[in-house]
Structure 1
Amino acid sequence: MALVLRFTQILEFLVAKGQATEMQLSHLIKVSQQTVKTVVLQINQELIDVVKIHYQQHVYRLEVLDFDELELLLAGGMKAAADFSSSEKRMAYIAKLLIDSGTYHLIDEMSDVLAVSRGTIQKDLKKLSLVVKSYHARLDSKPNRGVRLLASEVNKRLIFVNHVYDFYQYELGYDPKFFSLLDTLYDQLNLNAGQVTLLERELLFSIHRISQGYIIEEQIDNYINFASEQPNLLVFFSKLEDELKRNLTQYEQDFMAYPLNMNNNFPFDTRLLNKALIHRLINQITRDIFEDYPIQINRQALIDALQYHVTFLINRTVCHYQEKNIFFKSIQARYPFAYQLAQITRKSIWQVTDLMISDIELNTLAIYFELLLSKVRIDSPKQVALVASVGPAVRQVLSHQIQMIFGEEMAITMLTEEAVAQDFSEYIAVFTTIP
């Protein structure tokens, strides 16, 4: 199974980027560069009719031979073929068992079904416990009764979609009418491939859960459904209700629409923005930044720059939607100050929402800060202030030295010591002989 995961990680990265260095793939799958060569060779042998990875001057490039088959493989086809020698497959089986039943299950029973030792199951449960913890869920264990999963219905579905579905998608069988409804919806909404894949898997599993009597009965905290009034989606839900012969709660519809609310690439009503939450966040962010860095930040500019990004970022974090990591450590190295501001913002978001954003989101956030900082640099008047009680000759020497540092295009404003109480925010630097 480790090999299947490496196949998937390398192919997903090459699909996103087109090419990668040996070092990038080595960091990606956490093996040596020599092992990367071996894995790439295996990909070329196993998927000979699907892809070809070319290697030249320490760079790997992807050539796709069968786009449809590659899409199926990356959508979970490779994981579905894995066996129980894989810890991840065993964890998926255990999670599925606990989600489906909602009751306790004995470790010995799992051990017999999966044909592994009791100790191996306990190790798998320990790993699974860490996974579900990030969903505000936990594994409850009792002697002679076994283990059960304690989680909200929303988080049970998210755990299944994100960690189980790829392994057991082919066990979910549905009426062809449902797929016909889905195809119509995809065409009407003009969705991209990623949205289609995620929407299909979560809808299929949601319908499975609803048919079993499990209903979402609470609002999803900090999440906004921007598609709540989308006409085509409402028609789809109406037809789905007819097929299921039951009404869908607003909370169910909000959850089912979550793949449409992960990115700002779908028409949405800006009036649905949670202005109160955004303002609380921006206030916290500016306070936290100023505490570490005494720099002046235009609060409205920060709101304009971040309000949509932060809103969708929170949606992704709530739903544990993970963007592909195409930056690695290059963002931190290239934009160190913007990255530090992003780290402060991550802490601010956690303080306000109790949500911890991922390192991938941190990279994207740093880019937004760099863009904001770049705009400030471009828009700011290029001038410095010189406050000195000296004669004209000395002032001329000081001005010359300042221009040697900043360039001749820098405007220098001469001020007397009486000006020390004024607002210097319009200057990018102040030189003074006055204490």
Structure 2
Amino acid sequence: MDRQNFEMLNFFINNDALTLRELQTHFSISRVTITKNIREINEYLDGVAQINVNQSKFYLVIKDYSAIAKLQTTFLKQDLDFNDPAKRQVTILKELLRNTSNYVIVDDLAESLSVSRGTINKDLRELKQMLDFYNVRIATKTNKGIRLEVNADFEYAVITRNLVGKYYELESTWDSATDAKLTNLIKQLDSSNDTVTMVKRNLAVIKWLRKYDIQVNDKVPNYHQLLSDDSTEALRDLLTETIGNSLSPGEWDFISYPLNIKKLATDDKVLVKLALADIQGLMQVVFPIIKQKLDINLDFDRLLMELRYHLLFLINRAIFDVKSEGFISVDMLNKYPVSTELAQFTLSSIAKKLNIRIRKQEVGYLTVYFQMELEEYMSAPVIHRVALVKPISNSMKRFITEQLTDALNDDLQIDIFNSKSDLEKSPEKYLLIFSNSFLPGSAMGQHTPIIRLNSVFNQGALRERLQISLVDEAISHGLCKFDVTKFMNEKSYTKGVRQLINQEITDGQLNEEFLEDWAKREELSSSIFGDGVALPHVIDKSGLNRILVTVGLFEKPVVFDNQKVNVVFLVAIPNKLDAELSRVLSQVYDLIRSIAANSNIFNNLKNYDNNRGLIQLMEAI
């Protein structure tokens, strides 16, 4: 049993039934991790105890109390060996926090943890990387040792809660009567049990830091208190009494932040108004920065009205590194590339302006807001023409209309022709032609796909053909460029993508800056879409107004980010993106998902002939 599972078991021993949310709040880990840990604990405790669940609450049933007591004693003895590198690193951090006024000698750390100096140095390198997110450094001075350095003293509290608190229980050192009062006063402001737990945990952190002469004195920069002094006076008085000394502004900010990361009925209207004014001032600086990176004509004033509360609480969360629920998967983010880009630009710009760090999980929520605004931006109606060649009944016409309207989300114009010859006389370009007659493409002179009437009952196949036709239509109008390359003996994902980019640079479709931007993007996040598909997408500053899709097919799968990759879809998104190109980009991503999901379409892609056009992907689907 590892340390985290042991701490979770102890938490169950010391508490009654616990909700998943309470466990998540206490341990600062995801629901998936909690479920995995409970499964591992149950496997380890087989025959001794069992964590059960009843009506969304988890509880521990102990069958052998003596075995549990022996387990606790044995684990604590093993705990002194510090075989877990993460445990050692947090223990080093704990020692540095205990001695912020002095230097800690590395050899003393090695001796106390019963490991070599080399092991401690390796742990320090990893700990420094961990602390870098919090703007906390480990300074070294020759012949003296190491010590912590922070930009702002509230970071002491944040790293104590988030890092030390993972491995060491910072116990609540107050009596049950005080605990009951605390619960009551917090619930007067916010009735959530999660908030009560978080405030008490933060109080325990401050009391622990006080033991080692660490006091968070200054108010936290860029943080917004939303509760008035009058409404929180009783709680602050009790906290002061519990700590045993005056409560500094920074300590109050830290302890009470759970009351300021969501909208509450008890919020002070004046304070909220001032906070929102700050957010508006910030975004008046940030939005022009975003527009420089991706020139898209959204209604940013309307967007700000939708976003302002979310941004207010996002910033308050980020300051204290409160993790939000990452409810949007990477696959979902890949579905909305432009909105994701806008969300990432927004977060990076805010982080830079306020000198804070923002977790990647925040991208998902923001993406949703941008996507809603983008859909408003793309809402201008587009008319697609479809041809029906008789004989066809009115009921079949109505059925086809309903199916296509549901799939297109655009206006539909259906033209009905009595014969093939009548259709040939039409000057229109049709998205699809429905007929049970034999209509050779050469005779039509427009290479529009012919759909047999019995195919309309297979909605999946109809939707896939529609997606191919929409992108093909965009290609014919110069709004999209689509090429396929078959890699010869290429065994590296990055080399393959470089080859695609260099080909397009040679053809005048991309500039050299695109290659640098792609490399930077790969460092930020994975481009692996899943199912053997890689989907790198980058903003293109060449000035060409089209969506570029260049596909690379590997002879044999290559491995990147521990995942197999069979095909690369490199998508270049124009820096200046109007509503029409935004719509085409959405259609391109729909098509890529269909290719990844349908083996027949993917086989057609593997045999792709760049001289025949996109319609060849429809064959045998």
TM-score (norm 2): 0.50
* 1:309 shift after superposition: 0.8
Describe the superposition over 1:327-383 as per-residue Cα deviations: whole angstroms up to 9, x where unpaired. Answer: 341232222221111112122213321223211011221122123334555xx5537
SS of 1:308 mapped into structure 2 = helix
Aligned partner letter, 2:233: L
Structure 2 Cα separation of the partners of residues 269 and 228 of structure 1? 6
Aligned partner letter, 1:89: K
Aligned partner letter, 2:180: S
* 1:401 shift after superposition: 6.5
Say what the alpha-carbon RMSD is for the aligned residues.
3.9
SS of 1:164 mapped into structure 2 = helix
* 1:105 shift after superposition: 1.2
Contact 1:211/1:244 (8 A) holds in 2: no
Of 198-207 and 183-192, deviating more is 183-192
Match of 1:162 in 2: 162
Q: Counterparts in 2 of 1:306-325, with a 5 A limit?
A: 306-325=307-326
Aligned partner letter, 1:302: L
Structure 2 Cα separation of the partners of residues 111 and 257 of structure 1? 38
Contact 2:321/2:358 (8 A) holds in 1: no
Structure 2 Cα separation of the partners of residues 265 and 375 of structure 1? 30
Contact 1:51/1:63 (8 A) holds in 2: no
* 1:156 shift after superposition: 0.7
Contact 1:158/1:320 (8 A) holds in 2: yes
Contact 2:98/2:212 (8 A) holds in 1: no
Gaps of 5+ in 2: 9-18, 22-29, 62-71, 384-425, 434-465, 467-577, 582-621
SS of 1:347 mapped into structure 2 = helix
SS of 1:148 mapped into structure 2 = strand
Match of 1:274 in 2: 275
Contact 1:331/1:339 (8 A) holds in 2: no
Match of 1:290 in 2: 291
Describe the superposition over 1:110-155 as per-residue Cα deviations: whole angstroms up to 9, x where unpaired. Answer: 1122112211111111111122222222111123322111124311
Structure 2 Cα separation of the partners of residues 242 and 171 of structure 1? 17
Q: Counterparts in 2 of 1:34-433, with a 5 A limit?
A: 42-46=40-44, 49-51=49-51, 67-69=58-60, 83=79, 84-102=82-100, 103-151=102-150, 152-169=152-169, 173-210=173-210, 213-229=213-229, 231=231, 233-264=232-263, 267-272=266-271, 273-376=274-377, 380=379, 382=381
Q: Counterparts in 2 of 1:7-26, with a 5 A limit?
A: 15=20
Aligned partner letter, 1:139: I
Relative distance call for 1:271 and 1:369 in structure 2 (3 A) is: farther
SS of 1:327 mapped into structure 2 = coil
Structure 2 Cα separation of the partners of residues 267 and 106 of structure 1? 49
Aligned partner letter, 2:44: E
* 1:194 shift after superposition: 3.0
* Percent identity over paired residues: 26
Structure 2 Cα separation of the partners of residues 172 and 97 of structure 1? 20
Relative distance call for 1:146 and 1:338 in structure 2 (3 A) is: same
SS of 1:221 mapped into structure 2 = coil
Match of 1:423 in 2: none
Rg larger in 1 or in 2?
Answer: 2
* 1:428 shift after superposition: 5.8
Relative distance call for 1:286 and 1:166 in structure 2 (3 A) is: closer
Structure 1 Cα separation of the partners of residues 96 and 204 of structure 2? 19
Structure 2 Cα separation of the partners of residues 206 and 134 of structure 1? 21
Describe the superposition over 1:216-265 as per-residue Cα deviations: whole angstroms up to 9, x where unpaired. Answer: 3222111111124362x320211333454533233332222112222335
SS of 1:359 mapped into structure 2 = coil
SS of 1:321 mapped into structure 2 = coil
SS of 1:322 mapped into structure 2 = coil
Gaps of 5+ in 1: 9-13, 17-24, 30-35, 53-61, 71-76, 385-396, 406-426, 431-435
Aligned partner letter, 1:166: K
Match of 1:33 in 2: none
Structure 1 Cα separation of the partners of residues 304 and 178 of structure 2? 42
Contact 2:128/2:137 (8 A) holds in 1: yes
Contact 2:138/2:147 (8 A) holds in 1: yes
Contact 1:382/1:428 (8 A) holds in 2: no
Relative distance call for 1:197 and 1:375 in structure 2 (3 A) is: farther
Contact 2:170/2:205 (8 A) holds in 1: no
TM-score (norm 1): 0.69
SS of 2:259 mapped into structure 1 = helix
Relative distance call for 1:119 and 1:282 in structure 2 (3 A) is: same
Match of 2:489 in 1: none
Structure 2 Cα separation of the partners of residues 213 and 278 of structure 1? 35
* 1:398 shift after superposition: 8.4
Count of residue pairs brought into register by the alignment: 357
Match of 2:478 in 1: none
Structure 1 Cα separation of the partners of residues 427 and 6 of structure 2? 61
Contact 1:91/1:128 (8 A) holds in 2: yes
Relative distance call for 1:158 and 1:190 in structure 2 (3 A) is: same
Contact 2:286/2:349 (8 A) holds in 1: yes
* 1:304 shift after superposition: 0.6
